[in-house]
Amino acid sequence: MTSATRQQSHQLDTINRRLPVVILAMVIGSALLLLALASFQWLSPEVDREFRARGIANTTSVETIPAERGMIYDRDGEPLAFNQIEYRFGVSPNLVTDPALVARELALILDLDEFDIYRKITNTTSSWVSITDNGPVSAEIGQEVLDNEALTLATTKDRVWRRFYPQGTLASQILGFTIDENATGAMGLEAYYNDELAGRAIDEIISTVPLYAPEAVDEVRQEGMDLVLTIDRDLQFLVESRLAQYVADNSADSGTIIVMESRTGDILAMASYPTFDPNNFVSEDAELLTTPAITDAYEPGSIFKILTVAAALESGTVDENWTYNDTGELQAASIVVRNWNEQAYGVRNATDVLVNSLNIGVATMAMEMGPDLFYQALRRFGVGALTRIDVSGEASGLLKEPGDSDWSESDLLTNSFGQGLSVTPIQMITAANAIANDGLMMQPRIVQQRIAGDIVQNIEPVVLRRVIGVDTAHMVRDMMVQVVQDPNGANQAAVPGYSIAGKTGTAQIPNAVGYESGTSIAGFIGFFPADDPRVTVLIRLDRPAGYWGSRTAAPAFSDLAEQLVLYLGIPEDSVRLNLAAQGGQTSTVR
Amino acid sequence: MTRWMQHTIGRRGWQPRNQAAVLLGLALILALVFAGVYLSQVASYAATNREISALIEERDRLEFANEQLRVEIASLKTIPRLLDRAQQLGYRYANPSEVQYMVIDGYNPNRDQTVVDLETRDTEASAPQYEETFGGWLQQQFDSLSRQFEGFGR
Q: Which residues of chain B make contact with A142, given a CB cutoff of 8 A?
A: 64
Specify whether the CB–CB gap between A203 and A64 falls below 8 A.
yes
Report in angstroms the alpha-carbon separations of B93 from A245, A344, A567, B45, B86. 17, 46, 10, 65, 10
Q: What per-residue confidence (pLDDT) applies to A576?
A: 86
Q: How far apart are the first and last CA of chain A?
A: 125
What does CATH list as the number for A233-581? Answer: 3.40.710.10
Q: Considering the domain A64-203+218-227, what is its CATH architecture? A: Alpha-Beta Complex (3.90)
Query: Where is average pLDDT lowest: A222-226, A295-299, A302-306?
Result: A222-226
Q: What per-residue confidence (pLDDT) applies to B4?
A: 66
Handedness of CA A467, A472, A477, A482 (dihedral sign): negative
A405 pLDDT exceeds 60?
A: yes
| Nearest neighbour of A85 by CB, restricted to B63, B96, B122 | B63
Q: For residue A100, which phi and psi values (nearest 5 degrees)? A: -65, -40
Q: What per-residue confidence (pLDDT) applies to B154?
A: 44
If one compares B56 and B34, the residue with the highest pLDDT of the two is B34
Which residues 86-105 of B are in CB contact (within 8 Å) with A?
A: 93-94, 96, 99, 101-104
| Nearest neighbour of B79 by CB, restricted to A140, A234, A588 | A234
Write the DSSP assignment of A457-499 as a string of letters: EE----EEEE-S-HHHHHHHHHHHHHHHHSTTTTGGG--TTS-
Q: How far does B67 lie from chain A, in Å, by closest CA?
A: 7
Q: How far does A141 lie from chain B, in Å, by closest CA?
A: 11
| Nearest neighbour of B96 by CB, restricted to A19, A20, A562 | A562
A211 pLDDT exceeds 70?
A: no
Rounded distance, CA A312 to CA A468, Å? Answer: 10
Q: How far does A18 lie from chain B, in Å, by closest CA?
A: 11
CB contact under 8 A, B71 and A575: no
| Nearest neighbour of A19 by CB, restricted to B1, B42, B96 | B1
| Nearest neighbour of B108 by CB, restricted to A234, A579, A585 | A585
Per-residue pLDDT tens digits for B144-154: 667 656 654 44
Per-residue pLDDT tens digits for A442-490: 999 999 999 998 899 999 999 999 999 999 999 999 999 999 999 888 8
Between strands A72-73 and A323-326, the pairing is: unpaired
Rounded distance, CA A336 to CA A120, Å? Answer: 77
User: Which DSSP letter does residue A518 get?
Assistant: E
Specify whether the CB–CB gap between B83 and B89 falls below 8 A.
no
Which of A113-122, A281-290, A295-304, B58-67 shows the highest mean pLDDT? A295-304
CB contact under 8 A, A586 and B5: no
| Nearest neighbour of A211 by CB, restricted to B41, B96, B102 | B41
Side chain identity at B14, as an amino acid letter? W
- The answer, for B127 touching chain A at a CB cutoff of 8 Å, is no
Per-residue pLDDT tens digits for B125-140: 555 555 667 787 778 7
* ipTM exceeding cut-off 0.85 for this assembly: no
Q: What per-residue confidence (pLDDT) applies to A530?
A: 96
Q: How far does B137 lie from chain A, in Å, by closest CA?
A: 24
Q: Which residues of chain A make contact with B6, given a CB cutoff of 8 A?
A: 12
- The answer, for B72 touching chain A at a CB cutoff of 8 Å, is no
The CA R_g of chain A, rounded to the nearest whole Å, is 37
In terms of residues, how long is chain B? 154
Long-range contacts of A131-136 (CB under 8 A, 24+ apart): A131/A89, A131/A90, A131/A91, A131/A106, A131/A155, A132/A87, A132/A88, A132/A89, A132/A90, A136/A86, A136/A87, A136/A88, A136/A160, A136/A162, A136/A181
If one compares A217 and A538, the residue with the highest pLDDT of the two is A538
3-state secondary structure of A247: helix
Q: How far does A398 lie from chain B, in Å, by closest CA?
A: 39
Residue A394: CB atoms within 10 A of its CB come to 20
Q: What per-residue confidence (pLDDT) applies to B10?
A: 54
CA A317 to chain centroid, in Å, comes to 41
CB contact under 8 A, A12 and B2: yes
Q: What per-residue confidence (pLDDT) applies to A355?
A: 95
CB contact under 8 A, B2 and A84: no
Rounded distance, CA B62 to CA A367, Å? Answer: 71
Q: Which residues of chain A make contact with B79, given a CB cutoff of 8 A?
A: 167, 170, 233-234, 237
Pinpoint the alpha helices (H) of A39-59: 45-59
Which of A206-215, A382-391, B44-53 shows the highest mean pLDDT? A382-391
Strand pairing partners for A441?
Answer: A465
For an interface test with A, give the residue of B103, B104, B115, B119 to mutate (most A CBs within 10 A): B103
Specify whether the CB–CB gap between A128 and A101 falls below 8 A.
no
Interface A:B, Cβ pairs < 8 A:
90
Rounded distance, CA B57 to CA A155, Å? Answer: 14
Q: How far does B21 lie from chain A, in Å, by closest CA?
A: 31
- For residue A73, the chain B residue with the least C-alpha distance is B74
- The answer, for B143 touching chain A at a CB cutoff of 8 Å, is no
Q: What per-residue confidence (pLDDT) applies to A589?
A: 47
3-state secondary structure of A79: strand
Handedness of CA A394, A525, A351, A441 (dihedral sign): negative
Specify whether the CB–CB gap between A419 and A516 falls below 8 A.
no
CA A60 to chain centroid, in Å, comes to 40
Report in angstroms the alpha-carbon separations of B110 from A416, A565, A585, A588. 40, 18, 8, 7
Q: How far does A319 lie from chain B, in Å, by closest CA?
A: 37
CB contact under 8 A, A585 and B110: yes
CB contact under 8 A, B79 and A455: no
Specify whether the CB–CB gap between A524 and A484 falls below 8 A.
no
Specify whether the CB–CB gap between A422 and A507 falls below 8 A.
no
CB contact under 8 A, A79 and B79: no
Q: What per-residue confidence (pLDDT) applies to B114?
A: 62
β-sheet with A514-528: strand ranges across: A267-273, A254-261, A535-542, A514-528, A501-511
Q: What per-residue confidence (pLDDT) applies to A209?
A: 57
Tell how many helices (H) and how many strands (E) occur in chain A: 18, 23
Q: What per-residue confidence (pLDDT) applies to A531?
A: 94
Q: Which residues of chain B make contact with A12, given a CB cutoff of 8 A?
A: 2, 6
Rounded distance, CA A295 to CA B53, Å? Answer: 49
Q: Which residues of chain A make contact with B1, given a CB cutoff of 8 A?
A: 16, 19-20
**Measured torsion, CA atoms of residues A105, A109, A115, A116, in degrees rounded to the nearest 10:** -130
Ramachandran class of A340: left when φ > 0, alpha when ψ lies in -120 to 50, beta otherwise: alpha
Q: Collect all residues with Cβ–Cβ distance below 8 Å to A146 and sequence separation of at least 6.
A: A152, A157, B57, B60
Rounded distance, CA B144 to CA A327, Å? Answer: 103
- For residue A573, the chain B residue with the least C-alpha distance is B101
| Nearest neighbour of A584 by CB, restricted to B45, B57, B103 | B103
Angle B86-B90-B93 from CA coordinates, rounded to 5°:
65
Ramachandran class of A440: left when φ > 0, alpha when ψ lies in -120 to 50, beta otherwise: beta
User: Which DSSP letter does residue A447 get?
Assistant: E
Please report how the helices A425-436 and A470-485 are oriented relative to each other, as an axis angle in degrees rounded to 10.
110
Q: How far does A563 lie from chain B, in Å, by closest CA?
A: 9
| Nearest neighbour of A588 by CB, restricted to B61, B103, B110 | B110
